[in-house]
Amino acid sequence: MIKAIGRFVLLAKSVIHARAIVFCIIGEAAIALPHMLALEKNRIMRTFKRKIRAALAAVIGLGTTTFLYAAYTSPSDIVCLFVRSAALESLPDGTLVEPSSSESERAMFLELQSQAKARIEKIFGAPRAHPIVAFFRESRTFWPLSVNNYGSSGAIGNTSCVIIGPKGQHVDVVAHELMHQELHERIGSWRMFTEVPVWFDEGVAMQVDFRPQYTLLKKAGSASNTGEIRALKSVRQFNHGNDEEITRHYTFAKTEVAQWLDNVGRYDLYKRFERIRAGEKFDVVVAR
Ligand SMILES: [Zn+2]
């Protein structure tokens, strides 16, 4: 009997001990698990935040680099992006002007566009492009970007614009820039980018630009080979050189396109733009 009682006591002790161990483990786990979960959560959150910060830095870095590159290579396109949000006033036809522009200047800006469009219509047919046109008397309005002192033509996304600077407020420059827009409108951004060389874009714009410094003066006994201008396909190539060389590029481009138009007929120009848009190769449509 005493033995039986002794075994029962031993068994009870073992059970109590085992339960104590189990409770101890459960208790430890109950204390340790939330702590471990909190540590893991913190580690995941720190990693997540680090990755978010790195991704944001990459996006901001890439965006800034792209913007600065675009601003450097094609500032007129970037100005075009912001021109509508600039502190400018809109005339009834949508022309943008600086608020300080006088009434006579506003009337002049409208008259210049009217004359420029009439010139394009007379030479090639009615223009159909409707870019935003903005006139500036101050080239630093878009600081840190600056407006071209004469004129520029840009397109970004669905926005196309003509920016006329303080020295470009005459019909030659306005017609020149509007003609660039006509090519862009009729050929389309992608085909302009992939197919049309800069010498042709400039040569066509020069057909409605009568500034005398871009007229080829033929010296007796000498013949200029204006065909060499066809090698200048990029903006960088075309605008490379000193003032005299760049003026010669414009002059040669103007003459080369004028000679080509003499052969094919200038009233056919818009149709040729459509052919490039439809997929024909530039070299076929604008063969010498
Ligand atoms: Zn031009």
Cα 201 to averaged position of ligand 1 atoms, centre (Å): 7
- Contact between 157 and 84 (Cβ < 8 Å): no
Residues with CB under 5 A from ligand 1 (ion): 202, 205
- Whether 193 and 288 map to the same domain: the answer is yes
Place 86 in a pLDDT band, splitting at 50, 70 and 90: confident
- Whether 196 and 232 map to the same domain: the answer is yes
Look over the chain and give the mean of its residue pLDDT values, rounded to a whole number. 83
Pick from 1-10, 153-162, 258-267, 279-288: least confident: 1-10
Pick from 9-23, 237-251, 257-271: least confident: 9-23
Cα 222 to averaged position of ligand 1 atoms, centre (Å): 28
Residue 74 pLDDT exceeds 70: no
Whole-angstrom distance, CA of residue 206 vs CA of residue 190: 22
Cα 20 to averaged position of ligand 1 atoms, centre (Å): 91
Cα 18 to averaged position of ligand 1 atoms, centre (Å): 93
- Whether 211 and 150 map to the same domain: the answer is no
Cα 204 to averaged position of ligand 1 atoms, centre (Å): 9
Cα 102 to averaged position of ligand 1 atoms, centre (Å): 28
Quick one: which of 259, 247, 175 has its CA closest to 215?
A: 247
Cα 209 to averaged position of ligand 1 atoms, centre (Å): 9
Q: Number of folded domains in the chain? A: 3
Cα 198 to averaged position of ligand 1 atoms, centre (Å): 9
Give mean pLDDT, residues 166-179: 97
- Write the Ramachandran bin of 28: left for phi over 0, alpha for psi from -120 to 50, otherwise beta: alpha
Query: Per-residue pLDDT tens for 98-132?
Result: 999 999 999 999 999 999 999 999 999 999 999 99
Domain hosting 130: range is 74-170
Cα 44 to averaged position of ligand 1 atoms, centre (Å): 56
Give mean pLDDT, residues 195-213: 97
Looking at per-residue pLDDT, the higher value among 147 and 89 belongs to 89
Give the model's pLDDT for residue 247. 95
Q: Look at residue 179 and tell me if it is in a domain.
A: no
Cα 182 to averaged position of ligand 1 atoms, centre (Å): 12
- Whether 222 and 288 map to the same domain: the answer is yes
- Whether 151 and 194 map to the same domain: the answer is no
Maximum CA extent, the chain: 143
- Whether 140 and 232 map to the same domain: the answer is no
Quick one: which of 74, 286, 72, 77 has its CA closest to 199?
A: 286
Residue 145 pLDDT exceeds 50: yes
Helix (H) or strand (E) holding 197: none
Cα 137 to averaged position of ligand 1 atoms, centre (Å): 20
Q: Look at residue 153 and tell me if it is in a domain.
A: yes
Cα 181 to averaged position of ligand 1 atoms, centre (Å): 10
Query: Per-residue pLDDT tens for 23-49?
Result: 445 555 555 656 666 767 777 677 767
Cα 34 to averaged position of ligand 1 atoms, centre (Å): 70
Q: Look at residue 91 and tell me if it is in a domain.
A: yes
- Whether 208 and 245 map to the same domain: the answer is yes
Cα 180 to averaged position of ligand 1 atoms, centre (Å): 7
Give the model's pLDDT for residue 24. 43
Whole-angstrom distance, CA of residue 134 vs CA of residue 165: 9
- Whether 195 and 252 map to the same domain: the answer is yes
